[in-house]
Amino acid sequence: MQNRRVVVTGLGAVTPIGNNVEMFWEGLLQGKSGISFVTKFDATRFDSKIAAEIKNFDVTEYIDMKEARRMDPFTHYGIAAGDMALKDSDLDLEKEDKNRIGVILSSGIGGMHSYHSEHKKLLEKGPRRVSPFFIPMLIPDILPGHFSIRHGLGGPNYSTVSACATSSHSIGTAFMHIQRGDADVMIAGGAEGVMTEMSFAGFGNMKAISTRNDDPEHASRPFDKDRDGFVIGEGAGVVILEELDHALKRGAKIYAELAGIGFTADAYHITAPHPDGIGAARAMKIAVSDAGLDIHDVDYINAHGTSTPFNDKTETKAIKSTFGEHAYKLAVSSIKSMVGHLLGAAGGVELIATALSIQKGVVPPTTNYQIPDPECDLDYVPNQAREMEVNVALSNSFGFGGHNVSLCVKKYEK
C-alpha cells in the first residue's frame, strides 16, 4: 500500500525576533538579531551573559492567568504557537473528527523555571511549600496534554525528547502517524524556556556557549572561523501536518509537502558529534531516499549550524560526504545566527523557515559570517537573504546523545 502524502498547512512561532510567524520570517529576511544581554536573571557571576530571550510576550493573550500560573513558560510558548498554527490552518475543529487529530509537542529539557523556583521554596520554606502542580509543570509531556485537553483532541498524544533534535523528532514521528493512518491531522513541534541560572551554569561549564559578551548581536556566527559556541535561546515552533486528501477536501492552503524523514544515531559520544559526521550524513541520505528523490534534487539545507567549533565543521563534512560535488551547488544557512539555539524548539522553528523558503522562493541568511573557515567551505548564504527557487530542502537537527534528524520538504505538486 502506498504511503499517504503529508503536507504542511499551518504554522505558529514564538521566537526571540518575533512572537508570530510574520514577525519571525521578516526578521530572518532582514538579518535581525534576537540576541542581547540576559535580563531574566542576574548573570553577573556567569561567564556567558548573553541570550536570545523572548520579549514582550503576553501569556494572557492565550491563557487565563490563573491557569497560566500552573504552567511553566515552555508550556506557555508551546500553547501560543500551537494556537497560532491551528488558526493559520483554518481547521474548523467542530467539523472534524477530533479523534483523528493528534498532538506531539515536546521540550528538550522541560520546566526549568518551575524546577528553579520550587527548589528555592523547598530550601527556604520547607517541603510543604512546594506547589502540588510542580511535577505537571516540570514534565515535557504536559504540553501536548494541555493542548489536547484545550481543544478536545483524541488522537496520538505524547512527547519525544532528544535534546536539540526534539521537535524534529516530534514532526517526523507525527508524519509517520499520518502515513500509517493513525490520524488525518497532527499538531507537532516543540517549545523551550530555559532562561535560568541552572541552565546557564550547566551549559557554561560544558564550554558549549558563547562568551562574546562585548558583542551579543554578533555572538552566534555559524560556520565562521571565529565562532566560540552557541547562544541559548527560547521559544516555540509548531506546524500542522495534514494528510493530503484531507487538506484538499477542505480547501486548505499548502505551504509545502513533508516528503521524507531520516532518523539515525552517531553511537559515538554523549555530547560531541561524530568527527566525520557519519550519523548526520546517513540521516540526510535516508530522508532524501524516503522522499523518493535523488540527492541532486536538493536545493537548500536549513542547517543545524549551532556556531560551535565541532558541530559546524562536522555538519559541513556530512553534507559533503552526502552530496559530493553537488554540495557546492547547495545553499546552506543557519537561522541560529539570528534566533540563537532554541534547543528542543529549534527543529520546529527551523522547519517553519524551511517551508516558507519553499513557498516564497527566498532563503534566510547566515548572519555574522565574516571570516571563512577552511574546514567550512560551502555556500552558507552569508549575511543577506537570497531569492532562489527552492523545490527540495532539508532541515537538519542534531542532539546531545548522538541523535540525528533530517526532514525532507518539497514544493507541493499535485
Could you list the active site residues? 164, 304, 341
21 vs 14, 25, 49, 165, 353, CA distance in Å?
8, 6, 27, 21, 9
Task: Count Cβ neighbours within 10 Å for each residue of 261-287 and write b for 16 or more, e otherwise.
Answer: bbbbebeeeeeebbeebbbbbbbbbbb
- Mapped to the 3 state alphabet, what secondary structure does 170-216 carry? HHHHHHHHHHCCCCCEEEEEEEECCCCHHHHHHHHHCCCECCCCCCH
Strand 256-265 relative to strand 36-37, pairing? unpaired
The grid cell for 202 is 550547566
Helix or strand or coil: residue 44?
coil
The grid cell for 402 is 548522538
Cα-based torsion angle of the residue sequence 369, 371, 372, 373 in order, rounded to the nearest 10 degrees: -110
Task: State the residue for C-alpha cell 507525527.
Answer: 174
> Rounded to the nearest 5 degrees, what angle is found at the Cα of 273, between the Cα atoms of 342 and 269?
110
The grid cell for 366 is 547566515
